[in-house]
């Protein structure tokens, strides 16, 4: 059986650090807008940080995994910056969308 190099790299990578973020919105539409805004930016180092996002019941859920705490912190912090900006934009210009 042959194993691809990417499979071997994944097997060797230790995803020791993880955290979850959940943000409640007043509407599914607001949660979906923020999700779409965040989904555009992919992780800069996908071999060191994984991010999985979903929207359900007006809630944005994000799960992070990283090989080192510093990569987890950097990814989480960057996401919070964009999340804050997207939320403030919806509040300011959202044409009546409630967060």
Domains of the chain by start residue, with CATH: 11-93 (3.30.310.50)
pLDDT at residue 13, as a whole number: 58
Cα-based torsion angle of the residue sequence 47, 49, 28, 93 in order, rounded to the nearest 10 degrees: -100
Provide the pLDDT confidence category of residue 49 given band limits of 50, 70 and 90: very high
Q: What's the mean pLDDT when you consider all of the chain?
A: 85
Provide the pLDDT confidence category of residue 12 given band limits of 50, 70 and 90: low
Q: How many helical (H) and strand (E) elements, i.e. helices and strands, does the chain have?
A: 3, 3
Q: What is the DSSP letter of 44?
A: S
Cα-based torsion angle of the residue sequence 46, 49, 55, 60 in order, rounded to the nearest 10 degrees: -140
Percent of the chain with pLDDT over 70: 81
CA distance 7 to 2: 10
């Amino acid at each position: 059986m042959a194993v691809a190099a990417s499979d071997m790299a994944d097997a060797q990578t230790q995803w020791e650090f993880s955290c979850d973020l959940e943000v409640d919105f007043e509407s599914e539409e607001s949660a979906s807008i923020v999700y779409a805004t965040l989904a555009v930016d992919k992780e800069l180092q996908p071999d060191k940080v994984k991010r999985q996002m979903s929207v359900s019941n007006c809630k944005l859920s994000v799960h992070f995994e990283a090989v080192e705490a510093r990569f987890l912190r950097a990814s989480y912090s960057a996401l919070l910056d964009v999340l804050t900006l997207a939320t403030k934009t919806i509040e300011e210009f959202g044409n009546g969308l409630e967060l």
